[in-house]
Chains A and B, each alone.
Chain A
Amino acid sequence: MIEFILNNKQIRIFEKSGKTLLDFIRENNQLKGTKIGCREGDCGACTVLVGTLENDVVHYKSITSCISPLGNANGKHIVTIEGVNLENKLNVAQQAMADNFATQCGFCTPSFVVSMTGFALKSIEKPTQTSCKDAISGNICRCTGYKSIEKATNVLEVKLRTIQQSNQLAELIKEGFIPDYFASIPERLKKINFRPWLSKAAGNFVANGTDLYVRYADKLSEGNVNLVGDIAILKGITIEENRCKLGASTTVTEIAENKELQQIFPKLKTFLKLVSSEQIRNMGTLAGNFVNASPIGDMSIFFLALHSTLHILGETERKIPFQEFHKDYKKYDLQKGEILTAISFEIPDKDTKFNFEKVSKRTHLDIASVNSAAKISVKENTITEANIAIGGVAAIPKFLVKTNTYLKGKALKATTIIAAEKIMQSEIAPISDVRGTNIYKRLLARQLFFAHFVALYPQQINLPSLITKQ
């Protein structure tokens, strides 16, 4: 049985857990405000909110319901546009949109409102942390050109500043951001007794669907799926001594918002903003990105450069260096019956810096042409260690073994980097495809390789010194 709250309605149903949440909303419940735009998480027209109860507080995040298995709604509060409507008047986000002429054809509009209302709910916890623009980064509008929507988000941000920190939910209700039934949700969620567990039952392993449902939604929707996105032992970020361990079902958002990781990687949020959209970051997990095994997987590249260790559970637990995981195009070291449980890495010391680069046709919500991450240690102007990984230029996410070896022990100067770049070119073999020609990818690989050093060591290395000596 799947049990959850849809807007203000208690749902208890026997349905295939693999059915998409979108179809359940539109077909079974006739809630037509959630739209079908692309069914692959790339337009955001089907955005809904998912509320999860933690310590008496419901935390809301936005997701794309088209690639979300219904089973993941278990124990949650699912909010569609109908669920944020007030009786006979517009809520604050809606009013701000109306006042700024931010709706034209109206097809994407409800999804923007849902994302914005989600931002309002989230800002309870972190008022000035992010901008409302980030919250709608996964919503595509083809009519407005976004400027009017941007004005509406500014209004919303200003109005949210007046919300009192204590008793925020009640304040949001009082000020007309959300309808009053939200007040009853925490108590009602408590009564739903749902504990996800790791089962070896039939059905594909699915975390939150951002990859599998893009490719196999038709097949997956017909049956039950083995949901691993909410399983406690696969989640969580822990730091012990000098190692950080992240559960395999940790989402990109959970990484981005982790305070300790933000301290370790001061530009963490900037880096991770380059990974897809808010909705997809709220869903996409580490394990999903690793086993998708795309040569261009952002998180694969990120963790390769961190020289990470992969934790795999089968009959027993085994650990392997992450750079040995991907074997060949879409082939990886995971036996039948095994599951990824975590990834861990050594926390960089004070001499070590980290950088992430990604270039795609569109900067946000796009797949990279080439991406790259670098962890470089420098002592007294000598490179003591380099871990550089690069994506989109080989059959697998590429850890640059030869290049890294070459760099070790060399002086940090332009000629070193120029020589290392030549080695890198010998290690990669990009192909031409819709993300770019091989010639472009080689040039871009060079540029991103250079970019790491220019970004990390601006005092020592600059762009002209790298390109004029070519």
Chain B
Amino acid sequence: MKNIDSYTHLRGESLFVDDIITRQDTLYGLVFDSPKAHGKIISVNYANAEAVEGVIKIFTYKDILGKNQIGGIIADEPLWAEDEVHFWGQPIAFIVAETKAIAKKARALIEIEIEELPVITTAREAKEKGSFINAPRSFHLGNTNEAFEKCEHVFEGKTFSNGQEHLYLETQGAYAIPMENGNIKITSSTQGPTSVQKIVAQVLGVAMHKIEIDVIRLGGGFGGKEDQATPWAVMAAVAVQQLKKPVKYILNRHDDLRMTGKRHPYDSTYKIGLDEHLKIIAYDVEFLQNSGAAADLSPAIAERTLFHATNSYYIPNVSSIVHSCKTNLPPNTAFRGFGGPQGMFVIESAIAKAADALGIDKRLIQEANLLVENDAFSYGQIATKVEMENTWNTAIKQFDLEKLEKETAEFNAANTNYKKGISLMPITFGISFTNTPMNHARALIHIYQDGSVGVSTGAVEMGQSVNTKMLQVASQTLGISPDKVKLETTNTTRVANTSPTAASATADLNGKAVLKACNALKERLKVVAANLLDANIEHIVFKEDIVFATKEEIFVSWEKVVAAAMLKRVALSENAHYATPIIHFYKTKEKGHPFAYHVYGTAITQVTVDCMRGTYEIDAVKIVHDFGKSMNLGIDIGQVEGALAQGIGWMTMEEIAYGKDGRLQSNALSTYKVPDIFSAAKKVAIIPLETQGNDMAILKSKAVGEPPLMYGIGAYFAIQQAIKAFNPKHKLQFHSPYTPEKVLMNLYE
């Protein structure tokens, strides 16, 4: 089944926040933000701005009736700065005017005096100065100290992976309208409607039931709208609360880039020990996460880095620690992979370093350590239904790695101006929110009396086609055609207290709730149908808009059953709740079983480096991926391809640059480059692994949003291989992204 929004998407008829009908008296908001990364606010002069005709009011922290606090995990982030600013781009005030142009003009007239304080932009510097968000987290397995003693080979090194801008094509934004009795309805481009509702209520000082959040869809989220969609909606709501007029605020791209956080840069230090059979015996790793100026989701992201620090390998002795370092950058936030990619980059770097020193192929070390059934992760969970070696071996065989490697070697021997490189990248990614209490969801299903069905869930549609999957679950379970089912907007008054659409788990959690609700409705309708058909309930089957009894000879239409149920006063609506069973995690011991299951896969990446110019092309990425039993392969393959491109972007051309003064230098699309159609891998081949699927996944179809992003890491190591082929003297560096600049410098160092 195609994405159910295809038709309207392709005709430009799908509605995003900036497209919905606005009331005529709508006012427009604009943030005034800090022009310095750290300092004391001495004075702000709003007089000239306020004097501009058409400026209605400029809001500051003084106008807040509730709490000036938007922090999610830790209450450390004001909506609007009070006496101090902690990052360049920190919101200080909110201009509300009759038009966007007026607001912009007014903004330019605000004068601010800031007494500058020292600026920290890197995690290393923050650690040296003892600037942290919270206490470090640490996972241990076995005893690394003892293990390193016994190792045949020990290697140490440092790595750096840079941040990444989400670059959702639709910028952040919200439209808030006043309802009666001080109630406010907000259409928000958020992955977390409930957190928007909660924070709006907190800042406004009102009960949550007065705030309704509606989400139609997002023009991309990728984690960037999990926590950081909130402030803009809150600001609009503060203005509505006091002005009693609709207020719209859509960020322009420059403001969005400057004011919002990104994927966390990580500075890491590792020590890896191997025995004579290339078994990794010990791994010691310290992660310095550049968290930015406030906690945001950093503690949770740091935690996931530890969960994925050993990627797809079994290592009996692991010691890992992560520090969330407080710096003067915008608070960094969730981004597809959520700290996992950063952890995986380090172990892959450690293996590459070891292989280089030993003069062997990196693949040999990877292969010797792949996770197998009943291996323990460093956090105590025992790996079951492991498909790691299965994907690895299938990839090598199906894509004929031996031939690819031979061709690469032959090409490199015959060419001087161009060199090819090849790498293998295994992935193992845990599915569930690592914060166990978040793993629940609800669905509200109405069967209308004409037989059509409306489905509401807590899932937010942002391109991942979760609504299509929800529709599939409902239609398959009820045995009715897809066109009878409509997916409603995500709305806090229909489905409340939701977890954000994140962690790749949304289809699982909400899908299971839909399944449960549909099954309950079906049970009730079975009674009605059995009555109508004069048949045994056990024999009632729902299929293709028909309700059959026993041998398909006796049947009645779906509509007739629904109509009969209506007459018999049977409830045609159902609200179901699903909470993932089994999972748990004890933070005191840092052990538990946090994941419902893991997703596995292997990618082979081939690149060609232009050794004259330092540029490169991704020739092919060949993947064997564990989809479980995919419920929609077209959509799932789209997720793999999209995540892959994003992962390759993170590893190659996407370079975030902050000045020492904390100002974002890659502050426009002319200076921050994401992959375009020509930089995508020339060939992407994806083989779905044949498995039994996993019952913890919706219809055994495994989560697919985040895991494939990490295939992109393979691009880094393939480029490195090609450079090494041209310049054997090159000392490997692990400093992503591998921009053409770094490539050229490494080719000729």
Contact = CB atoms under 8 A, between A and B. Distances in A.
B625 to A, nearest CB: 14
Given A38-B669, A90-B7, A104-B463, A444 B744 contact: yes
B465 interface: yes
Interface stretch (A189-197, A313-321, A446-454): A446-454
A102 B230 CA distance: 30
Nearest to A95: B10
Interface in A125-140: 133, 136-137, 139-140
A141 B218 CA distance: 14
B253 A39 contact: yes
Interface stretch (B53-61, B324-332, B546-554, B674-682): B674-682
A82 B12 contact: yes
A385 B3 CA distance: 60
B253 A110 contact: no
Interface residues of B, number: 78
Nearest to B13: A33
A467 B676 contact: no
Contacts of B673: 360-362, 366
A407 B461 CA distance: 62
Contact of A144 (B101, B168, B638): B638
A122 interface: no
The interface centre, meaning the residue of B169, B253, B638, B674 with most chain A CB atoms within 10 A of its CB, is: B169
A361 B740 contact: yes
B3 A37 contact: no
Interface stretch (A201-209, A284-292, A328-336, A434-442): A434-442
A106 B2 contact: no
Contacts of B399: none
A104 B222 CA distance: 12
A105 B462 contact: yes
Contact of B676 (A137, A144, A367): A137
B668 A35 contact: no
Nearest to A108: B169
B16 interface: yes
Contacts of B681: 147
B677 A133 contact: yes
A146 B655 contact: no
B676 A362 contact: yes
Interface stretch (B491-499, B503-511, B641-649): B641-649
B217 A105 contact: yes
Contacts of B684: 145, 147
Contact of A32 (B9, B12, B217, B611): B12
A97 B637 CA distance: 15
Given A81-B11, A444-B744, A35 B170 contact: yes
Contacts of B19: 32
Contacts of A367: 670
A367 B666 CA distance: 13
A107 B2 contact: no
A255 interface: no
Interface stretch (A40-48, A343-351, A387-395, A418-426): A40-48
B15 interface: yes
Nearest to A109: B9
Contacts of A133: 677-678
Nearest to B417: A463
Contacts of A357: 613
Interface in A119-165: 133, 136-137, 139-150
11 contacts: A90-B7, A101-B634, A104-B464, A104-B638, A105-B218, A107-B463, A144-B642, A145-B680, A218-B101, A359-B614, A443-B745
Closest 9 CB pairs of A and B: A33-B12, A105-B463, A107-B219, A106-B9, A145-B645, A81-B12, A42-B669, A110-B12, A104-B463
Interface of B: 2-3, 5-16, 18-19, 101, 104, 166-171, 217-220, 222, 250, 252-253, 416-417, 462-465, 611-615, 634-635, 637-638, 641-646, 653, 655, 657, 665-666, 668-671, 673-681, 684, 739-741, 744-745, 748
